Structure 1
Amino acid sequence: MTQATKKRKSRLFIMGSVVLLLAVMTGCQQSQSATPATTEQPSTTPTQTTENAASNQANSISTSSKADSTTFTEEQVEQAIQFAANYKKDQYTVGEEYKKKTSLEEMIEQEMTKNESYLTEKQLQYQTVSRLLTLPMQLAVKKQSTLSPEDLEIHKKEPQTRQGVLQLSYTMKIAFANGEPSIPVEGELQLQPTADTWKVSYDVFNHNDLFNIINAKS
């Protein structure tokens, strides 16, 4: 099986997971609206789903990961930091394409193509289902502006490694070309080495602040 075929199958699996998730959420909403509720219950929104997913991811990392003896050379660390910088710059650079009327499936497909070289398969699936993958595009559409990262800084964390992966922290600002106030972002990354590059296996940041902006009424 060729690498291209494997990637295609992986994409189809992830897209299928997203479609199934959306169908389940839609079905639940329709069921709730068709049957009068006897008691008031909080509804489940995509943002809440994202928050739960991010919380589960963070809890999984914090409870299962332990510092180990894996070490990387200074050259490897510098390469990893550059890789992480390229990832964040590509991820949060959105041009005039935000003006195109695209379906959710098309947007997901575009963002998967944009990010698959940076993310592990599991992280790609996680970011797709949790809507983090399309977050930059959603911000651009909400603000009706192109956007780009500014003042990006990436540093090693302590301990430097957990279970053979490199730990990094980062800060940056999301800047809008139309003069909207920039948004500060602070997060943590975990990168795992591959044969000839790195892959992001973990990326957690203050995404709730961004989703609050997207979901706010205009």
Structure 2
Amino acid sequence: MTKVMKSRPSRVVVLGSIALLLAMMTGCQQSNSAAPATSEQPVTATTQTTDNTSNNNTNSTSTSSTADTATFTEEQVEQGIQFASKYKKDQYTVGEEYKQNTSPEEMLKLAMKKNEPYLTETQLQSQTTSRLLTLPMQLAVTKQSTLSPQDLEIHKKEPQTKQGVLQLSYTMKIAFANGEPSIPVEGELQLQPSADTWKVSYDAFNNKDLMDIVMNTKS
């Protein structure tokens, strides 16, 4: 009896140890069989990241392309034309003040005050350097007459946008009150949005014809 009772615990221990060993082996096998699935996760993640990056690049390209080809609404174009019309009318309307402000310093001071609300800082500096800013006043002094724009027409160009600016073309005549022959003007404008208004970033016209009148009369 005693021997039998002593041998049973030993068998239990042995069987328990075997069961534990089998469990450990089974666990290792399961772990090893799961390993390939674990190693594939980064590959899947990398593929998703690459796809997302590709999508982002596509979206970025699409957005850039859209920005390059975007056009202003008809309402915005109309507002731009009205702004450009006011700019040209103010620029080439010179009254009796030409009689008192004949020095270059006074001309420039008056012209800057008149044009600053319409021009970008770069364009204001450009017109100041090229003396286009004071050209209307110089014409008035040269012709000894007040002057104003007539038959002003402004149209949108095609394409109407270029690098985010509104492109316009214009024609007009500079008319003198003393009966001097009017001067035809033809040019192009570029307007860029600025807060709730516009700013002229480019203004090119047949200014040489006007400059020649001023210079030839002086000589």
TM-score range, shorter chain: 0.5 to 0.7
Structure 2, unaligned runs of 5 or more: 1-66
Corresponding residue SS for 1:216:
helix
Q: What is the distance in 2 between the residues matched to 1:129 and 1:189? A: 18
| C-alpha contact 1:70 1:161 (8 A) present in aligned 2 | yes
Aligned to 1:87: 87
Moved more, 208-217 or 96-105: 96-105
Aligned to 1:180: 180
Aligned to 1:130: 130
Higher relative contact order (CA 8 A, sep 6+): 1
Aligned to 2:33: none
Corresponding residue SS for 2:199:
strand
| C-alpha contact 1:160 1:166 (8 A) present in aligned 2 | yes
1:33-91 CA deviation, whole Å, 9 max, x = no partner?
A: xxxxxxxxxxxxxxxxxxxxxxxxxxxxxxxxxx9312111000000000000000000
Q: What is the distance in 2 between the residues matched to 1:159 and 1:131? A: 30
Number of equivalent positions? 152
Aligned to 1:192: 192
Query: Taking structure 1 as reference, are residues 168 and 210 closer, same or farther at Cα in structure 2, changes over 3 Å only?
Result: same
| C-alpha contact 1:148 1:176 (8 A) present in aligned 2 | yes
TM-superposed deviation, 1:101: 4.5
Query: Taking structure 1 as reference, are residues 101 and 197 closer, same or farther at Cα in structure 2, changes over 3 Å only?
Result: closer
Q: What is the distance in 2 between the residues matched to 1:101 and 1:214? A: 16
Aligned to 1:100: 100
Aligned to 2:120: 120
Equivalent AA in structure 2 for residue 212 of structure 1: D
Superposition TM-score, scaled by structure 1 size? 0.68
Aligned to 2:212: 212
RMSD: 1.2
TM-superposed deviation, 1:194: 1.1
| C-alpha contact 2:142 2:217 (8 A) present in aligned 1 | no
Equivalent AA in structure 1 for residue 155 of structure 2: H
Identity of aligned residues (%): 80
Corresponding residue SS for 2:68:
coil
In the TM superposition, 1:16-31 aligns within 5 A as none
Q: What is the distance in 2 between the residues matched to 1:87 and 1:194? A: 15
| C-alpha contact 1:70 1:163 (8 A) present in aligned 2 | no
TM-superposed deviation, 1:110: 1.0
Greater share of helix: 2
Aligned to 1:156: 156
Aligned to 1:170: 170
| C-alpha contact 1:160 1:167 (8 A) present in aligned 2 | yes
1:128-158 CA deviation, whole Å, 9 max, x = no partner?
A: 0100000000000000000000000000001
Equivalent AA in structure 1 for residue 209 of structure 2: D
Q: What is the distance in 2 between the residues matched to 1:182 and 1:175? A: 5
Moved more, 198-207 or 208-217: 208-217
